[in-house]
Structure 1
């Protein structure tokens, strides 16, 4: 095999790998965006946050660093929402059901009202 053909084959292989990695990264980013959006929708359903627990939840910061949010290390997906005893008041947004990796949910000792939607039960 000539040097030129070897170079072209290597270049095509590297390009294919790069495209694959970009697609995987895009899928991960898209999933992360879904989690971020679900949390921001949850925040918007809170009518009173006297301790400013969720006031720092913004699009500009990584949601895995937000108070009360636990994330998986590998995928950076929300696995826990631990906001018990925070004096929060409002409804529980149905968008919490979009947290597909959610395993722990503690909203005890707050003042939530309304109905829980079926979407919340669909989390893993």
Structure 2
């Protein structure tokens, strides 16, 4: 029985460290909201109408999340006529693997945050 208690405690400690130390999907939501806050041109109001905190960001137009962790894997905003300075927080999308932003008017740099 003592082994089961120790195993349970070690497992709980591991989960606590994982939850506290690893970024979560609120980091992704924050990065996306920072991005939309910089939008100066959205001629078709696509993001203005769809990117809302009333729904999960995984359901927003142009966003694809991974099934396991519900983290942003793809950001596809091509041909939307958007204009903005890219928010530095976009670099916090640590699960991002695909970025398609062609035929818009974006400026700035995307710097990945490798310190985590």
User: What pairs with 1:1-124 in structure 2 (closer than 5 Å)?
Assistant: 23=16, 31-55=24-48, 56-113=50-107, 115-117=108-110, 119-120=111-112
Task: List alignment gaps of at least 5 residues for structure 2.
Answer: none
Partners of 1:121 and 1:38 in 2: CA distance: 12
What's the offset of the Cα at 1:99?
A: 0.1
Q: Which has the higher contact order (CA 8 A, sep 6+)?
A: 2
Secondary structure in 2 matching 1:54: helix
Partners of 2:55 and 2:65 in 1: CA distance: 14
TM-score normalised per structure 2: 0.77
CA RMSD in angstroms comes to 2.9
Runs of 4+ in 1 over 3 A off after TM superposition: 19-27
Task: List alignment gaps of at least 5 residues for structure 1.
Answer: 1-5
